[in-house]
Structure 1
Amino acid sequence: MHTRSLRSLVKVSQVDSFTEAAEQLGMTLSALSMQMKSLENVLGAELFDRSVRPPRLTPIGRAIVKEAIPMLRHEEKLSEICRPSGDLAGNFRLGFVTTAAVRLLPMFLRSANKKMPRAVFEFETGLSANLEQKVLSGLLDAAVITDANGLPNQLSSQVLRQEPFVFAAHENLLEKGLNNLLSEGVFFHFMPDTGIGKLIARVMLDFERPAHSKTVVLDNLEAIMECVSAGLGFTMLPAPDVERYRVSGVEAIDAQASLQRELVLVMLRESILVRHRTDLATLLGS
């Protein structure tokens, strides 16, 4: 049994699609299907339930994926040991919290090809909690997330940047001052169950808004800033996010809070990436 088939199986489990997995692996769909059938024959077990579309992993298939991930990671370690140059080489999957990907991913892509030419990176975006769990389970090699509640001991981390929170509101709504806006204005809150959202909720508790005040929860930073630009209310977000979407007439005001958003690069402590953590952080603008 070749590890290439196991890598393909893990890829299918990551993207939950034979078609997308084939594209990312540089294979035809028929070739990938044949590879998976061959792997099932070698193992003597059905890894996929093909009675549904798209096919999904069987319980045995999920168990094989779970065991394959650390085995493939050890294979990468052996390859790393044999490289006299010490350069990072191989295929790696990185996650980015969605709100930071728009700023950090282009920076990473510009530099990675030049400074780590032997490494191939694949990417996905998502919420911090989901990305953290994928790193812990081995579905991601590393991720950039918002650290809101502390990190598990299994993870090695490096702070990339700390970003202060600011209020954002149209100047027309600020004519009576920020305190009046805090009491009477509509607050656009970014997803309270996310890393950023939890920090925002923590900061907003200090301002003790009246019970009758209105809060609108949205899951998109651009949508929030569009509502703010239209003078419909105010928000609190990390300063770089406000600056990215701020238009003429919208003011950013220091939240005067000690809490900051902390973006961190995380990976398993036994990952081969730990040796290159500082280099990766540099590529991300740390």
Structure 2
Amino acid sequence: MGIRHLRTLLAIAEAGSFQAAAERLGLTHSAISMQMKAFEEELQSQLFDRSRRPPDLSPAGKRLLPKAREILALYESLSEAGSREEDLSGLLRLGAIPSATASFLPEALAQLGQHHPRLQIRLESGLSTELTRELLNGKLDCIIITQAQRLDETLKATVLRRERLVVVACNTEENQKVSQGEDGDIDLLNHLPFVRFNHLTGVGKVIEQNLRSRGASLREVMELDSLEAIQRMVAKGLGAAIIPESGIGSESNLLAIPFGKPVATRTVSLVEKYRGQRPDLTQALAQTLFAVLDTPELTTNGSIRYP
């Protein structure tokens, strides 16, 4: 068994067919096929169901994938194992939710690159659930997500920040008046159509739980997964939304008030496996993130207006 067999197996799994893998690796279809047949003979196991067109991974092949990724990661880290702490090198495969990539992450990656110029970062953006799945499957080394209440027992989380959620609406005199009551956040949501933040995201689930606990019944008109798009819709008077306060950009004419009693928050965490391949790299990333993040103390009352 050689490293090339493992690379070919992963290429087929990711590309979806022998032909697509051959194009990705710069080989012929017959070379790919011969490699996999030799690999199957060595393992004495059928890795592909060749009764299907194109051939699909068999149950045995699917079980082998996580181990193949782990072995390749170890192999690729051999030359990096002796790196000094102050001169880290290698590849860190990072996943992050969109709100992180649009706010604090660019600065953190820039600083990390300045301190460790030989370190390479491959970044993937996605939803918390998708990124967690890829972390468990070995496709990513660590992820920045809205932490769920429960994580898989093989994962550990480092809390980066806790962000309060706010109700945002167009900053009009009428909306200001509606929001000044004891339950101003719910009053404002009831007063306007609801622009929902994607309920499949981590923060979307936090929002849904809080709305349900307060018995809110809203007139939903949109569901978006872009904070920028939500703010644009809201600023044009098309409704009210609930978003993380840190996600508020430079959009003008926006009114924001804390959501929930006490104020609802989301927890943004750096998540990795307990037995990660490069804990030195994830630790360096965590330290840089802490240096970049400057989270204010959470308060439970008062409104915030963004002129």
Distance (whole Å) between structure 2 residues aligned to residue 232 and residue 199 of structure 1: 23
Aligned residue among 209, 212, 220 for 2:225:
220
Aligned residue among 217, 223, 239 for 1:233:
239
Instruction: Tell me if structure 2 keeps the 8 A contact 1:80–1:272.
Output: no
CA RMSD between the two structures: 3.2
The answer as to 2:251 corresponding to 1:250 is no
In structure 2, relative to structure 1, the CA distance for the partners of 1:77 and 1:115 (3 Å cut) is same
Instruction: Tell me if structure 2 keeps the 8 A contact 1:76–1:272.
Output: no
4-13 vs 152-161, which moves further = 4-13
Tell me the residue number matched to 1:51: 53
**Counterpart AA for 1:157:** A
Instruction: Tell me if structure 2 keeps the 8 A contact 1:159–1:262.
Output: yes
Tell me the residue number matched to 2:90: 90
* Per-residue deviation, residues 226-266 of structure 1 (Å, max 9, x unmatched): 2211112101100121x22x522111222254432211111
- Secondary structure of the structure 1 residue equivalent to 2:177: coil
Percent identity between the two aligned chains: 29
Distance (whole Å) between structure 1 residues aligned to residue 18 and residue 123 of structure 2: 17
Tell me the residue number matched to 1:134: 134
**Counterpart AA for 1:31:** L
In structure 2, relative to structure 1, the CA distance for the partners of 1:33 and 1:238 (3 Å cut) is farther
Tell me the residue number matched to 1:202: 209
**Counterpart AA for 1:127:** L
Distance (whole Å) between structure 2 residues aligned to residue 188 and residue 223 of structure 1: 10
The structural deviation recorded for 1:108 is 4.0
The structural deviation recorded for 1:101 is 1.9
Aligned residue among 282, 296, 299 for 1:277:
282
User: 5+ unaligned residues in a row in structure 1: which ranges?
Assistant: none
Tell me the residue number matched to 2:177: 176
Tell me the residue number matched to 1:118: 118
Distance (whole Å) between structure 1 residues aligned to residue 123 and residue 16 of structure 2: 15
The structural deviation recorded for 1:117 is 2.9
In structure 2, relative to structure 1, the CA distance for the partners of 1:166 and 1:185 (3 Å cut) is same
Distance (whole Å) between structure 2 residues aligned to residue 30 and residue 227 of structure 1: 47
**Counterpart AA for 1:107:** E
* Per-residue deviation, residues 56-82 of structure 1 (Å, max 9, x unmatched): 54545433323312223443565554x
Tell me the residue number matched to 1:160: 160
Tell me the residue number matched to 1:42: 38
- Secondary structure of the structure 2 residue equivalent to 1:151: coil
Tell me the residue number matched to 1:66: 66
In structure 2, relative to structure 1, the CA distance for the partners of 1:36 and 1:259 (3 Å cut) is farther
- Secondary structure of the structure 2 residue equivalent to 1:157: strand
How many residue pairs match? The answer is 275
Q: Which has the larger radius of gyration?
A: 2
The answer as to 2:267 corresponding to 1:268 is no
Tell me the residue number matched to 1:102: 102
Distance (whole Å) between structure 2 residues aligned to residue 18 and residue 122 of structure 1: 25
Instruction: Tell me if structure 2 keeps the 8 A contact 1:191–1:217.
Output: no
* Per-residue deviation, residues 155-188 of structure 1 (Å, max 9, x unmatched): 1221222211111100235143223423332121
Instruction: Tell me if structure 1 keeps the 8 A contact 2:47–2:61.
Output: yes
Distance (whole Å) between structure 1 residues aligned to residue 283 and residue 176 of structure 2: 46
In structure 2, relative to structure 1, the CA distance for the partners of 1:89 and 1:41 (3 Å cut) is farther
Q: Higher helix share goes to which structure?
A: 1
The structural deviation recorded for 1:279 is 1.2
User: 5+ unaligned residues in a row in structure 2: which ranges?
Assistant: 41-45, 294-307
